[in-house]
Amino acid sequence: MSHTIAEKILAEKSGLKSVSSGELVTARPDKVMSHDNAGLVIRHFRSIGSSKVFNPGKIIIPLDHRVPAESEKTAIAHKSIREFVEEQGIEAFYDIREGICHQVMIENGHVKPGELILGTDSHTTSYGCLAAASSGIGATEMAAVWATGELWLRVPETIRIEVNGKFKSGVTPKDLILYILGQLGARGADYKSVEYYGNTISNMPVSGRFTIANMTMEMGAKFGIISYDEETEKYLQGRVENDYTPVYADPDADYCEKYEYDVTDLTPQIAMPHRVDNVVPLSEAAGIKINQVVIGSCTNGRIDDLQIAADILRSKKVSKKVRLLVIPGSRSIYIQALKNGILETLLEAGAVVLNPGCGPCLGAHQGILAPGERCLATTNRNFKGRMGSTEAEVYLASPTVAAHTALTGEIPDRV
């Protein structure tokens, strides 16, 4: 019997020879991740009578959503997490300085191909960029995993997406995933695994694959996986030991749906308020006035994203009508952007560079919108009230579109 990547990984992590879609399995994840919401996980962990985590070496906790603490409530939660990790001997704890959880996980060697990783954040699907099966779970579920080291999961059906062709100038992986979201819809992959193939994907760096896997969750997917190849191997060199075994789908694996896309004629895309799948070509959004631009987040806060913005803004000035917020995805990206002059270029253009973290993406702090304001962001969600007021609007786009928007104060018709 032939199997998909998700089926093979879940079979191995459940101690079974094989599994089929729809089957319930009790799986033992290789790693588990929680961020600031670890405070809630800790409370549930205590409430079920647990006192010792199953394996402190498999738990990773980066603080990123509300850093530095924006309120006394958050400060208390952070304090409880710091005390817990010391009590439990959890060494992979990253305090407020390190960056966004998913970027930290990837950069610091906590993700290996073929692994099963669970996290208390919906965009845990990001780790599929390194050929892992990764997914978000709730705080109560994570408390159970911390206590027992296992969790039941339903084996998902798998969608195969093949993408071929070369991007035009100004078109990015963010435009591709927005386009796919617009085609399949926000429920197009509900509790399914999505595997990506084709020469567009194989020629894409891990940073672009990260964006694809990250936003696969916005289709409702359980996993978003890019198969292991030379690009994966190159990224992992020096980050992890060579003690992993890549998992590949069988050539005749059973897929519930198959889609093919050619990016040759793809243009920049915009997700209009208030749905991620409300996607239109850039030209259809041209002229909309924007008050704030955000370049960053776990979706597009990597060094190449910042470089794109810097190249566009070099020797230019941000419109006085726009607040441009730039948020590097991690401390290491921040340092790299500092050393190579990216941050200087952005600051001279008029950007405000914030510390690595999530901040405005989830409407926590550092860029909340007032009623009637509009923000164009490289983030991954634009739900009503996502970035502050329910009377504000959020538009999603690539760093290229974001930088051009910052120059004029309105969405351009071309880049």
**1 pLDDT higher than 80:** no
Are 296 and 214 in contact by the 8 Å Cβ rule? The answer is no
Mean pLDDT of the chain: 97
**155 pLDDT higher than 80:** yes
* CA–CA distance, 122 with 136 (Å, rounded to integer): 4
C-alpha distance from residue 76 to each of 40, 66, 360 (Å): 12, 12, 21
In this prediction, residue 242 has a pLDDT band, given cuts at 50, 70 and 90, of: confident
**415 pLDDT higher than 80:** yes
C-alpha distance from residue 13 to each of 17, 28, 191, 403 (Å): 10, 5, 19, 43
| CA 196, 202, 206, 209 torsion-angle sign | negative
* CA–CA distance, 224 with 212 (Å, rounded to integer): 8
**331 pLDDT higher than 80:** yes
**184 pLDDT higher than 80:** yes
Spatial CA neighbour of 152 closest among 48, 14, 18, 32: 14
pLDDT, tens only, 45-95: 999 999 999 999 999 999 999 999 999 999 999 999 999 999 999 999 999
pLDDT, tens only, 10-57: 999 999 999 999 999 999 999 999 999 999 999 999 999 999 999 999
What is the per-residue pLDDT for 339?
A: 97
Sorted by where each starts, the structural domains of the chain and their CATH numbers stand as 5-9+14-237+249-261 (3.30.499.10), 270-408 (3.30.499.10)
| CA 101, 106, 111, 114 torsion-angle sign | positive
In this prediction, residue 388 has a pLDDT band, given cuts at 50, 70 and 90, of: very high
Which of 135-144, 238-247, 366-375 bottoms out in mean pLDDT, i.e. has the lowest?
A: 238-247
Spatial CA neighbour of 415 closest among 291, 333, 337, 308: 308
**192 pLDDT higher than 80:** yes
For tokens 């603490």, name the residue: 69
* CA–CA distance, 297 with 309 (Å, rounded to integer): 14
What is the per-residue pLDDT for 295?
A: 98
Residue 287 buriedness (CB in 10 A; 0-12 / 13-18 / 19+) = exposed
Residue 35 is encoded by which pair of tokens?
Answer: 């961020």
Percent of the chain with pLDDT over 90: 99
In this prediction, residue 161 has a pLDDT band, given cuts at 50, 70 and 90, of: very high
pLDDT, tens only, 298-327: 999 999 999 999 999 999 999 999 999 999
Report, in this order, helix, strand and coil percent for the chain, each rounded to 5: 35, 20, 45
pLDDT, tens only, 87-112: 999 999 999 999 999 999 999 999 99
Collapsing DSSP to helix, strand or coil, 391 comes out as coil
Rg of the chain in Å (alpha carbons): 21
In this prediction, residue 349 has a pLDDT band, given cuts at 50, 70 and 90, of: very high
